[in-house]
Copies of this chain bind each other. A is one copy, B any other.
């Protein structure tokens, strides 16, 4: 059975939408998706650091469309491991585990990995929105489209625009 490494932020979790919502609630500043194309999150969202360090941010992030349905399907067919860069923000760790347990109850704690870098985790397929993670991965690379990677090219990768695309590939 092949092993798939699945990222959280920007792949399972709609972190961009959450930043946009936090910013709007904070000061009525409506950031538009089309205006953040090509920008890193820290560039796109003026209160990025405050948000990621605030209690509850990662616990309340919305789920990306169709992620539950497709991950459930993949979980029957593959060895799914959820691999999230999270240790930079210690508060996020417990919140991310609880979030997965709530929204993806078919994923067990044995399938979760929270780390600082992903190049010491092995697998056959990686689904990630960050080119830096895919570029260090030797297996099949799936780039999940997000505004920040709009202009990125990752060698030997397939770009997908959402979970339905992944269902068609895997």
> A residues near B, CB below 8 A?
3, 81, 87-88, 90-91, 93-94, 96-98, 101, 108-117, 120-123
Contact = CB atoms under 8 A, between A and B. Distances in A.
Q: How many copies does the complex hold?
A: 2
Contacts of A120: 3, 81, 113, 121-123
Contact of A114 (B91, B93, B121): B93
Contacts of A116: 108-113
Chain A contact residues, majority secondary structure: mixed
Contacts of A123: 120
A135 to B, nearest CB: 16
A40 B158 CA distance: 46
Given A101-B90, A122-B120, A114 B115 contact: yes
